[in-house]
Amino acid sequence: MDDKFYKSTISLIVMKKVIGYIISVAGIIVMALGFGMINLKLKFLEGVAGTYIAGVGIVAVIVGIIISLKTDSEKKDKQVAEEVPIYEGVGKKRKIVGYRKD
């Protein structure tokens, strides 16, 4: 069960990261539209100034970066430190004297 949970958690984190990248790329494309680098005539964008379109693209890039970076920090926070025994002595006379978190 732990293996399935681990795999599903990793796949969810990867999917969030991919969604963040997709939003960022879409934002770059919208920015290019706003700044006039891509000449594409769309009816619903005719009345809107290019600076507003570029602003929406910039916001989309920032949101995409935040989504992709947030998933990295979530992954690091969820790692639980494992307790490792501390031994004293050699061979069969070894005794556990304590534990440390690794």
pTM of this prediction? 0.59
Distance CA 28, CA 58 (A): 7
Structural domain boundaries enclosing 52: 2-101
* pLDDT band with cut points at 50, 70 and 90 for residue 6: low
The total domain count for the chain is 1
Residue 3 confidence (pLDDT) above 70: no
Residues 6+ apart with CB under 8 A from 95: 87, 88, 89
Tens digits of residue pLDDT in 9-64: 777 777 888 888 999 999 999 898 888 887 777 777 777 788 888 899 999 999 99
